[in-house]
Copies of this chain bind each other. A is one copy, B any other.
């Protein structure tokens, strides 16, 4: 790494600024000023409360009012009083507004698709984008309880299995492992948590309950794009809190010494190593924690 790190960050900034500038003008390309386009998009994304949009876009109340009136005159939105508080207003897209919003979506999709299509290694490009977006949005990673069979969870589990396949010398085959039943990782028996960053799942963990006082932590995974951001730590803390809420008294987990970051995390967060407690062929290290 001889080249100046700061110069490289600034080169990156220049590159994306000109690209993003092109994106902005494409928004203007639909003959609508940026302010109005931003409000239309905010409404299209599901923000309906006018005050919420105002806070999100950082707009003055007077300006916001005029922008809404303009979109209404164009027939793109409708506003009504909030059912629970008649001072507030809620906005929603009309049929024409939905079409217009979709046109903006299509422009963005086309731009994104073009960028991928032009690159010789789209997977590498996506990995780099995920890394940067996760770094910039590190404060906006939220943990959500999810069904282990939902799309976000399946994405995480797929990546988790693929990574075990790469890291274990003899690969990894889920069918040989004791794949937990989804029902055991849903309330009231257990929970499944996904770490989401602006729509992209970046990590997961499962708490597999049995109905008794002992439960198992399974499937802890964090995307390579987000390692070092303390997401695993947050997932584990949230799992423990959920376990306490379910009346669980003892947590157990199995892992493998080929995953040293995981082992290190357990050792530094109050887990104690215990003898093997199952006959799964993959794990070689076992931990327990009393809550």
A interface residues, Cβ below 8 angstroms from B: 1-3, 5-20, 23, 108-109, 111-113, 115-116, 118-133, 135-138, 151, 154-155, 158-159, 197-201, 227-229
Contacts and interface: CB of A to CB of B under 8 A. Distances in A.
9 contacts: A2-B159, A8-B130, A9-B115, A10-B108, A13-B111, A115-B135, A119-B135, A124-B131, A128-B128
Contact of A155 (B3, B13, B197): B3
Contacts of A14: 133, 198
A214 to B, nearest CB: 32
Contacts of A17: 20, 23
A116 B20 contact: no
Contacts of A108: 10, 13
Contacts of A19: 136
Central interface residue in A113, A121, A136, A228, by most chain B CB within 10 Å: A136
A158 to B, nearest CB: 6
Contacts of A115: 9, 135-136
A290 to B, nearest CB: 30
A233 to B, nearest CB: 12
Contacts of A6: 109, 112-113, 116
Contacts of A1: 123, 126
A227 B128 CA distance: 14
A23 to B, nearest CB: 7
Number of copies: 2
A7 B227 contact: no
Given A121-B227, A130-B12, A131-B128, A151 B20 contact: no
A120 B20 contact: no
A112 B13 contact: yes
A114 to B, nearest CB: 10
B227 A120 contact: yes
Contacts of A10: 108-109, 112
Contacts of A123: 1
A139 to B, nearest CB: 10
Nearest to A224: B124
A29 B170 CA distance: 57
